[in-house]
Amino acid sequence: MSDDSGTHELTLQQAAGLLSGADMASTKAVPSRGIPAVMMTDGSNGLAMNLPDFSGKVPATCFPTSSAMAATWDPELVSRVAARIAIEAREAGAQVLLSPGMNLKRSPLGGRNFEYYSEDPHLTAELATGFVHGVQGQGIGACVKHYVANNQETDRMRVSAEVSERALREMYLHAFEQVVTRARPWLVMASYNRVNGTYVSQDERLLTGILRDEWGFGGVVVSDWGAVENRVLALSAGLDLEMPSTSGASDALVVQAVQEGALDPEVVHRSADRVAALARRTAHRGGGSTPHDADPDPDALAVLAAARSIVLLQNDRDVLPLDSAANVVVVGAFAHTPRFQGGGSAGVHARVPAGSIVEALEQRHAGRVTFAPGYDASGTDLLEDSLESAVTAARAADIAIVVVGSPESAESEGYDRADLHLPSVQEQLIRDVAAAAPRCVVVVIAGGPVHTETWRHEVDAIVATGLAGQGVSQALGAILVGDSEPSGRLAETWPVELSDTPSYLSFPGESGRSIYGEGIFVGYRGHDLAGGRVAFPFGHGLSYTSVEYSDVAVEPTDSGWAVSLVVHNRGRRPGRDVVQVYVEPPAESPVRRARRTLAGFASVAIEAGESRRVRIDVPTRALERWDERLDRWVLDAGTYGFAVGRSSRQLLVRADVDVAGVVETPPLTLDSTLVEWLDHPSAGPALRAAVAEADPSGRTSGMLTNPVAILMIGGLPIHRLAIDAGNALTTSMLDDIAASL
């Protein structure tokens, strides 16, 4: 029997039972009320479902990780991949996919950064929106995670992210807000960590005040696995479903709290209603039904996605694509067995092996291809004599391709990376081979940036594959020979040194706290404001053709601005360009702002010689800032720059736009400063007039107009000045003015 009227017909025990798992992955069913169980599975780069006996995972298509998909800057492609993952989830009997992960990369050391998209909240929001649409279009529930400020693995179940409200709103909450309000995911996962001292799983302001009341979220809040510290507090705060099973222990706590009068039974039924609604909504329609609107061939899609995610970082002397007659030596054991994903709950049992980069190249390249392993399969040790033989082979070849990467143990859920360096044997191998070979290309296989400063200047080309899934070898082979055009762009900055990164001094924190001292200046926001060198900037990526921009125009729209420009492909090859719009705030601002922030982008395929007009919409929010004193978003009046370019550091065309905005005047109190009073449009003149009248000697007025005096005392709370018997400023005068405003 199906009953959509909610769960008030259920006993308290039954309702409480819906609020925790039946086992590791499923909720409990109440068959008599037509409430089926909901089976959940991980799967951000492919279905990551455990076998029933936990001896392994269900074989599945392995797509690029989220970090690699982010390099496509293409929400539509992300959506296509997500749809295929959802289809495999449905075929395996699941109703919910515990993805996408959308935490920001506060530090390049984040152990799960490969599961996340970017250091930028706008790019994260667009891609995660695509993912949610792709999944839910297949009738599977998407679960955005890990809400919120879960930016490190170190001490992840206890650490408190100490973060300002402005940084929370503009950075860490922003992407969640966009996805919740636009893509309407059916679940949100509450993270393990605390925010400003309170466990997210028990934080009513985050789980109810912001998520539901402000953003209108109507779905289920599920805990990360094992994230609930106090079940009753968590439920009261708005955490509906605790996972995994606690073998009835937490259900009993909920029932007891109600019976003792400590918990309103309505709270239990409200959350049970949400879980029941999710169960009914996701109850299919039979596993394995025919996919609609989805790519028919997942393996081909995996290769396409991998090709689109590969980033050409450097290409001196146009060494790539390979000259078809060149004798090539491929060096590095990872060329034989490339890494293609990260470890932990997201890990996929790839149905199709990634194959060998050497073989993929042999299939496509006309010239000779040879191989020298250089280091062992773990990536950390040299093989005997292998360095010498790699160098000898490089000397004899026209070009050496050194394949390097972070070892499997470097990137996983559960711990952060120790540093950005490749294993020292790999760095040495690059330098030695580059010194011997006439030309040298380095292929980096890693889920995040690596340190390049000790070898980058010695080599001609650098290609970053990310962790590109089962299609990596085919995709890379096609790019190296020029059968595919490189079009990936970095979704995170590659710093010169780790110590250049804005969060360096406080990541991952200590004594249970991680102080987000860099505030909003995460990633390129911090690098660009400080102005120091980076190895490769946010948004960077080269192509085999050459693209120019012209005729930029910015017009107001109902929801913001439309930026349009003409993109010209001046080269002789087709290409794909990622046009990036950055907004630069007015020079005058009440708070320190980033020099520029990504506000819109478009991935555009463009034929050789073609010119195309491209339009990119920029929402008003992209110009706003969170005002901590007013506790809301504010659009400052002023001149904003709309700069269009190919990275945050390569801006090619721009237009300035005057925005009326509002000049916000925070409410005046006796604790406001003298300058705040004087600058206030009505209180300022009133204060000057009252002082002139009260002190005809001019002493007090003189104090208020002397620029040096204002420098010294202008920042004092005004009531501190009203106690000086020698001046005419009195608290009653201030009270009168404040009352008249």
The binding site for ligand BGC (CB under 6 A) comprises 42, 98, 145, 224-225, 345
Q: In the complex with ligand BGC, which residue's Cβ is closer, 222 or 728?
A: 222
Under 8 Å CB-to-CB from 457, ≥6 apart: which residues? none
Q: To the nearest 10°, report the CA torsion of 89, 93, 95, 100.
A: -20
Per DSSP, the three-state class of 291 is coil
Min dist CB 646 to ligand BGC, Å, is 34
Q: In the complex with ligand BGC, which residue's Cβ is closer, 74 or 413?
A: 413
Contact 135, 43 (CB under 8 A): no
Per DSSP, the three-state class of 273 is helix
How far apart are the C-alpha atoms of 647 and 37, rounded to whole Å?
A: 47
Min dist CB 98 to ligand BGC, Å, is 4
Considering only CA atoms, which of 311, 297, 295 is closest in space to residue 476?
A: 311
Q: In the complex with ligand BGC, which residue's Cβ is closer, 97 or 391?
A: 97
Min dist CB 345 to ligand BGC, Å, is 4
Of the residues 42, 224, 251, 323, only one is catalytic, namely 224
Contact 545, 571 (CB under 8 A): yes
Min dist CB 141 to ligand BGC, Å, is 13
**Half-sphere exposure of residue 184, counting CA atoms within 13 Å on the CB side?**
5
Q: To the nearest 10°, report the CA torsion of 71, 76, 78, 80.
A: -140
Contact 426, 332 (CB under 8 A): yes
Min dist CB 145 to ligand BGC, Å, is 6
Write down the residue that tokens 């040299």 correspond to: 382
Min dist CB 184 to ligand BGC, Å, is 20
Is 224 annotated as catalytic?
A: yes
In order, the DSSP letters of 298-357 are HHHHHHHHHHHH-EEEEEGGG--SPPTT--EEEESGGGTS---S-BSTT--EESS----H
How far apart are the C-alpha atoms of 615 and 130, rounded to whole Å?
A: 19
Under 8 Å CB-to-CB from 705, ≥6 apart: which residues? none
Q: In the complex with ligand BGC, which residue's Cβ is closer, 342 or 423?
A: 342
Min dist CB 682 to ligand BGC, Å, is 53
Contact 393, 358 (CB under 8 A): no
**Half-sphere exposure of residue 529, counting CA atoms within 13 Å on the CB side?**
19
Active site residues: 224
